[in-house]
């Protein structure tokens, strides 16, 4: 396995471990599906779009900010056209600041807390968890792609590589 692949795998495992340790409530652990269900209930299914509906938003909302919350190695492999990278682990730091981690998001950020944003990740869970966090931070116009980049690819929608 390539060094980048090992580093990426370790990063994904760390993210998953963080999600599971965060989920501990009343001494009982939650499964990933429990977290997804809880996130969906809080975030709202209306803002979780099919790949086709997400693509329509991209085509019709001119100021839509497309945010890839994957890790850099995943973004470098493939991403939606026009997407900027803000990994899930950095979103709280980067969503409204440009003076830290300057290579992340290239100085782009939402104009205000009502700015439209479309979040995605590889399978749809990380972007959902990120959307929940942003909603708790006061952002109001957030969408995610159900099934993430894998569902997007299954629909044969355009990507950058």
Average pLDDT of span 26-44: 78
25 pLDDT more than 50: no
> In the chain, count of helices (H) and strands (E)?
7, 5
pLDDT category of residue 143 using cuts at 50, 70 and 90:
very high
Enumerate the domain spans of the chain.
3-154
The per-residue pLDDT for 29 is 86
Q: How far apart are CA 48 and CA 143, in angstroms?
A: 6
- Which residue did the predictor score with more confidence, 112 or 156? 156
Q: Which residue from 92, 44, 85, 50 is spatially nearest to 68, judged by alpha carbons?
A: 85
Chosen CATH of 3-154 out of 2.40.240.10, 2.40.160.10, 3.40.250.10, 3.40.50.300: 3.40.250.10
pLDDT category of residue 41 using cuts at 50, 70 and 90:
confident
Single pTM value for the model: 0.75
Q: Across the beta sheet with 65-68, what order do the strands follow? A: 48-49, 142-145, 117-120, 65-68, 84-85
77 pLDDT more than 90: yes
23 pLDDT more than 50: no
The per-residue pLDDT for 127 is 92
- Which residue did the predictor score with more confidence, 95 or 70? 70
- Which residue did the predictor score with more confidence, 139 or 7? 139
Q: Which long-range contacts (CB under 8 A, 24 or more apart) does 155-159 make?
A: 155/51, 155/52, 155/55, 157/51, 157/52, 157/55, 158/80, 158/81, 159/78, 159/79, 159/80, 159/81
Q: How far apart are CA 130 and CA 120, in angstroms?
A: 9
- Which residue did the predictor score with more confidence, 61 or 4? 61
């Amino acid at each position: 396995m390539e060094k980048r692949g090992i580093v990426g795998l370790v990063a994904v495992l760390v993210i998953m471990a963080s999600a599971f340790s965060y989920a501990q409530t009343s001494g009982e652990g939650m499964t990933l599906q429990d977290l997804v269900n809880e996130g969906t209930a809080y975030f709202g299914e209306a803002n979780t779009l099919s790949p086709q509906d997400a693509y329509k938003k991209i085509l019709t909302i001119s100021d839509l900010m497309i945010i890839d919350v994957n890790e850099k190695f995943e973004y470098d492999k493939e991403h939606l056209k026009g997407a900027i990278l803000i990994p899930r682990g950095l979103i709280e730091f980067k969503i409204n600041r440009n003076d830290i981690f300057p290579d992340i998001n290239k100085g782009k950020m939402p104009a205000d807390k009502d700015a439209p944003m479309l979040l995605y990740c590889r399978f749809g869970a990380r972007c959902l968890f990120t959307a929940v966090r942003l909603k708790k931070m006061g952002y109001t116009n957030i969408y995610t792609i159900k099934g993430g980049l894998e569902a997007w690819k299954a629909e044969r929608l355009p990507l950058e590589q």
